[in-house]
Structure 1
Amino acid sequence: MTTTTLTPLATGRSSGGMSMTMLRIEALRQLRNPYTLAFTLAMPVVMYLLFGAGPAYGALSAGNGNVAFYVMISMAAYGTAVAMSSLTSLAAAEAQQGWGRQLAMTPLSTAGYALTKLLTAVAFAAFALAVVYIAGALTGAEADSVWRWVAAAGIILGVGLMFGLYGLGVGLVFNSDSAAALASISLVFFAFFGNVFMPLDGVMLDIARFTPLYGFVALSRWPLTEGTLTTGQTDPLWMLLLNVVAWLAVFMVLVYVGARRSRARR
C-alpha cells in the first residue's frame, strides 16, 4: 500500500514555504466572490464612469491633468483599500475558525499561509487599480506626464497596504464570515465622508480631514493636484502624512486588540 505525504495545498510549494497552488486557488476564489467583485471591481469603475468619464466635465482641467484623471485616481485608491481590507479580514476570520489546524496537516507553514494571503491581497489590489486605470485610459483621463500615472499608482499600492491592517483587525475582532463584507461596507461609509466620492466643503471638509481614507486618497492625488482641492484650498503634505500615520497607529491597535480577544475566546 502506498501513502501520499503531500496535500493539494502543498503542490507547487516554494522553498520559502509559499504555496503557488493555494495562491492560484485563492485568486480564483476571490474572482467568484460576489462581495469582492461588487466592492473592489464593479463599484470603483461604475463610480468613475458616472462622475469622471462624462464628456461635459471629464475633460475639464484639474491640477496637472483633467477631472477624469482626478476621479480615476480616487476610485483606484478606494478599490485598492477595499481589496486589501476585505481579503485580509477574510484571512483573519479563516484563521480563527480552525483553518490553521487544517494547515498543520500539510507542509505549508503558518508563515507560508500568511505570505500567500498577503500576496493574494496585493495582487487583487493591483488588479482593481489596473481595471480602473484601463477604464480611465479608454475614456479620456489625462495627465501632462506619464510619470504622474506611475507615481499615483505607486502611492496607491504602497500606502494602501495600511488597509490590510484594518481588515486584519476587523477579522480578528468580529471573528465572522461577514468580516470581509463589514470591512468593505465600512470603507464605503468612510469614502462618502472622506472627500473621496464627492467634493466636500465647509464643516464637512473639516470633518473629512480626520477620516481614514482622506489622507490616503489625497496623497494618491498629490502627483496630479499637489495638495490643491477642488474648493481652492490646499492641504500641506505634512498634514496628509500625519493623517496616514495616525490611522496606521489606530489600525495597529485594532489588530492588537483583536488578537487579544481571539486568544481570550480560545
Structure 2
Amino acid sequence: MLINQTKAETLRLVRSPFFLLFSILMPLAFYFLFSALNGADKEIESTTYAQYSLMSMTAFSLISTAMGQFGIRLSYERRDGWVRLLKLTPLTPSVWIGSKMIAHMGVHLLTILVIFSSAHVVYDMDLTMTQWLLCGLWLWLGSIPFLAIGALLGTMKNADALVAVANVVQMAIAILGGLWMPLQTLPKWIQQIGQWLPSHRYAHGAWNMLSGSAPVMLDWVILIGTGIVFMALSGFILNKREAA
C-alpha cells in the first residue's frame, strides 16, 4: 500500500507544472543569472561563485518544494475532504503522509541531480566526486526539516491563503538566509537574523564542504531542532483537530 501510494504521489508531483517551474526552471535561471552577473570564477569563501551559488540555489529549490508544494498540497487535500475519505478506505493517515514525504524525498534527489548536472555541464565544476556526493547528501537529508515546516503550514484551514503565506515565508527565509545574495553582503541587522535561520545553516553546511570543511555543530543543531519542533507542532495540531 505504501509503495503504490508513493508511486502515485511521485507521479502527481513531477507532472505538476508548478514543480517544473518553481523547483527546476526558476532556481536554474537565478543560478545562471547570478553567476553571470557576479562572475562564475570570482573567489568567495575559499571557492568560486559558481560553486557557492550552486549550493545556494539547490537549497532554495528544495526549500521551495518542501515548504510550498508539500504544505499547500496537504492543506488543499484536507479542505477537499480527502482526510475524511481516508477513514472509509484501508489507507491509513500514516501511510498517506508517509508516502508524500517519501515521494518528496525522491523528487528532491532528482532535483539535485538535474541542477548539479546542469551546472557541471555549463561551468565544468572543479569538484571531486567526494565533494559532489557529500554536498548532494547533505542537501538531500537537510531538506527533511523543511518538509516539517511544510507540514505545519499544511495545517492552515484556509488553503487559498496558504499559497500566499507559503510563498512569502519561503522567499523571506531564502533571502534573509543568504541564499540569493551572500549573507556578508547584506546589512548587519539582516546578518544577525540570517545566521540563525535554518535556511542559512542548510546552505552553510554545503558551503563548508566546498572548502573542505564539515558542517559546524550549529548547522546540525538548528536543522535537527527545526525538524523536531515543526513536526511535533504539526502532529499536535492535526491530532487535536481529529479529536475535536
Query: Which segments of structure 1 move beyond 4 Å, counting only runs of 4 or more?
Result: 62-65
TM-score normalised according to structure 2 size: 0.83
Alpha-carbon distance change, 159 to 236 in structure 1, aligned in 2, over 3 angstroms: closer
Is residue 18 from structure 1 mapped to residue 2 from structure 2 by the alignment?
yes
Count how many residue pairs are aligned between Structure 1 and Structure 2.
240
TM-score normalised according to structure 1 size: 0.77
| Mapped contact 1:170–1:258 kept (Cα < 8 A) | no
Aligned partner of 2:131 in structure 1 is 148
Alpha-carbon distance change, 262 to 191 in structure 1, aligned in 2, over 3 angstroms: same
| Mapped contact 1:96–1:262 kept (Cα < 8 A) | no
Is residue 215 from structure 1 mapped to residue 201 from structure 2 by the alignment?
yes
Alpha-carbon distance change, 144 to 117 in structure 1, aligned in 2, over 3 angstroms: closer
Specify which of 37, 42, 45 is matched with residue 28 of structure 2: 45
| Mapped contact 2:38–2:49 kept (Cα < 8 A) | no
State how 1:168-207 maps to structure 2 within 5 Å: 168-177=151-160, 179=162, 182-201=165-184, 202-207=188-193
Deviation at residue 167 of structure 1 after TM alignment: 0.4
Alpha-carbon distance change, 120 to 249 in structure 1, aligned in 2, over 3 angstroms: closer
Deviation at residue 75 of structure 1 after TM alignment: 0.8
Alpha-carbon distance change, 174 to 95 in structure 1, aligned in 2, over 3 angstroms: closer
| Mapped contact 2:204–2:215 kept (Cα < 8 A) | no
**CA offsets 1:19-77 (integer angstroms, 9 cap, x no match):** 52x4444333333434333321222111111112x297112344564221111111111
Question: In terms of mean alpha carbon deviation, does 156-165 or 94-103 score higher?
Answer: 94-103
Deviation at residue 216 of structure 1 after TM alignment: 1.0
Q: What is the alpha-carbon distance in structure 1 between the residues aligned to residue 48 and residue 98 of structure 2?
A: 38
Aligned partner of 2:57 in structure 1 is 75
Aligned partner of 1:36 in structure 2 is 19
Q: Counterpart of 2:82 in 1: which secondary structure? A: helix
Aligned partner of 1:239 in structure 2 is 218
Gaps of at least 5 residues in structure 1 are 1-16, 228-234
Q: Counterpart of 1:139 in 2: which secondary structure? A: helix
Aligned partner of 1:224 in structure 2 is 210
Aligned partner of 1:159 in structure 2 is 142
**CA offsets 1:108-154 (integer angstroms, 9 cap, x no match):** 33333223211221122222222211221111152442211110010
| Mapped contact 2:79–2:157 kept (Cα < 8 A) | no
Alpha-carbon distance change, 141 to 185 in structure 1, aligned in 2, over 3 angstroms: farther
Q: What is the alpha-carbon distance in structure 2 between the residues aligned to residue 45 and residue 131 of structure 1?
A: 9
**CA offsets 1:67-110 (integer angstroms, 9 cap, x no match):** 21111111111111221223431353224542133234444333
Question: In terms of mean alpha carbon deviation, does 160-169 or 184-193 score higher?
Answer: 184-193
Q: Counterpart of 1:135 in 2: which secondary structure? A: helix
Task: Write the letter of the residue equivalent to 1:18.
Answer: L
Q: What is the alpha-carbon distance in structure 1 between the residues aligned to residue 11 and residue 74 of structure 2?
A: 19
Q: What is the alpha-carbon distance in structure 1 between the residues aligned to residue 192 and residue 212 of structure 2?
A: 19
- Rg bigger for which structure? 1
Q: What is the alpha-carbon distance in structure 2 between the residues aligned to residue 44 and residue 159 of structure 1?
A: 18
Alpha-carbon distance change, 254 to 108 in structure 1, aligned in 2, over 3 angstroms: closer
